[in-house]
Structure 1
Amino acid sequence: MTTTETNKRDWVALEHKYYQGTFKRQPLTLVRGEGTRVWDSDGKVYLDFVAGIAVNVLGHCHPAIVQAVQHQVTQLVHVSNLYYNIRQIELAELLGQQSNGMRSFFSNSGAEANEGAIKLARKFGRVHHNGAYEIISMERSFHGRTLATTAATGQASYQATWVPIPDGFKQVPYNDLEALKAATSEKTIGVLLEAVQGEGGIWPGDKEFIQGVRQWCDEQNLVMICDEVQTGMGRTGKFFGWEHYEVVPDIVTMAKGLAGGVPIGAMLTGPRTDLFVPGDHGTTFGGNPIASAAGIATIQTIVDEDLLENAARMGAYWHTKLEAFCEKYHFIDSPRGLGLMQAVNVKHEL
């Protein structure tokens, strides 16, 4: 379709007619992206500060991703997971190299990755913990839109429409180790948290808290699950957010920036929780050749261009500027973050 043909169509009216009213959209129809810029259907250019909600970690249409996808689509678009998939194996190898040798399972989104983590934790409970199944997550957390991940999410606004939500989940205040310990019972099998709470307002975990969670999980034979959907892929200045805290989780979930814009999720596990056997879990499209090729290109670019160091350096610079802004302007305060995950509070009384 040409630009002229694109401009002639009333995309808003067509969306209202044929698409369910799930999203509160901005009055903007985007048709092209390059680097940090996007173009709308009228040809107007914008600087993109949204980045697909933490997805376009290399910008729009990065040449490495474009080349990888273009090549793969001429070779093999889809193959069942009943067969070996070279791109999938290569991506798993790269993630293993970044995660102390963890093994991967690929899905299509962060919610699916977290669903897999919940299932794996419950199997650990059945095998090693007398059938324990309950997972403790954090207030203000966000873990997805499926029923189970909505129940794990520590925000009532995401749950109210879907009651009764699945049981087996409870929330405690973030950075409150004593509350976590008090909430632990014989039914508890795991702790699910983010190194930096993303949807909850960019709140980093205290080092004492994250390390305390790891120690508590070890003492109580619990599974520590780190949701790296937003914090992974170098956004904090390290490949994974948990690396800042000198701990290693049992299970790690990823998505968003993993393939630079191509849909993919991943659930990684260390040897302690590596319990899935054929038939326990599955996926039709997870880790398909195109998404895996894009993921390989994304990770290789992050490594080759030293983007972890760049995120750490630019994040430190930005944090210093935010601190200065908060001192100068009365309507913002509480600068915080890790790497390029930075935030301030904007007061209502401007």
Structure 2
Amino acid sequence: MHTTSSEIFLRFQDQGLISSHNGASTLITGIAPVEDCGRSDLVFIDHPKYLSLIPQNQPAAVVTTEEIANGIKPGATAILISPNVRLATALIKQAYVDRDFHHTEWPQIHPSAVVHSSVNIPEDAVIGPGVVVGANVVLGNRVALMANAVIESGAVIGDDTMLHPGCVVSHGCEIGAQVMLKAGCVIGSEGFGFAQDAQRRNYRIPHTGKVIIEDRVVIGANTTIDRGTYGATIIRSGVIIDALCHIGHNVEIGEDCIICAHTGISGSSRFGKRVIATGQTGVLDHVTVANDCVLLHRAGINNSIKEPGQYAGGPAQPLKQYLKNMAAMTRLSEMWSRLKQLEKKVAALNSGEG
């Protein structure tokens, strides 16, 4: 990284990400946390508690809110004002210090890769060691397929999509543009569908559907998404899925949802837009979750949620009700003892009346 604070301001001013630049333009050679920065680093501050570290460490520039900036004394540090410091962190780091997946230690197409002759490889694609690309796969421009990724026949991979090592995209699945599949993802494996005979022996039901992942989706390491039984499992645009999640067959996840680690969503369930499922959320099959719901504290969703809001626990309940119930849980032993005492008193009173 080698830029200046004024260059960052000019680059992001039109997007509304940086609204003003205060102080002289400074040279920036890196991005660091304010607690451990050098004098040529850019830092981000979204809380006043870090203000004392600015004169102490003297970074080259700080991105912060206008309110916090009022507490910074003028000095050698340039001040970039942003209405959304966290968003500024994301976009500035992407622009200047993100990993370049097209700059690798390997040839552009590694000689150990196996690509079917029916596949057209874009000139700007990167195909790493041990990659396997099946028949009639469509690869978009600037795709990056890292070591040992497997794309089975008939799959579609959109422009600027990156597959990390060991990813599998099964036959016929569709991956949109600017998608990131992190290491070990399995997209389009056969879903969990079986029939039993009179002796309870199991017979698998072939899944003839697919998975559709729309644009700008990020899927964490070792997450699995099952293909539809007949139709499609659909992950809408802008969705973020953490590591070690499982999405069952025929599920639909709405735009801009966030699914945190260890969440499991059973078949044919539907999430609306902007749903947040925190860690270890569990969702039964054939339920619907409304737009703008937040699922907390290992939420267990066994019935549909029809209204936006915060829900927690299992079975999931509105957050306020859940917190009251949790507070009562800590006093169950005391309440039980008092109940037994009351029962004895009632029994004694009844005995005296007799």
Q: How high is the TM-score relative to the length of structure 2?
A: 0.22
Higher relative strand content: 2
Which of 1 and 2 has higher RCO (CA within 8 Å, sep 6+)? 1
Q: Find the structure with the greater CA-based Rg.
A: 2
Q: How high is the TM-score relative to the length of structure 1?
A: 0.23
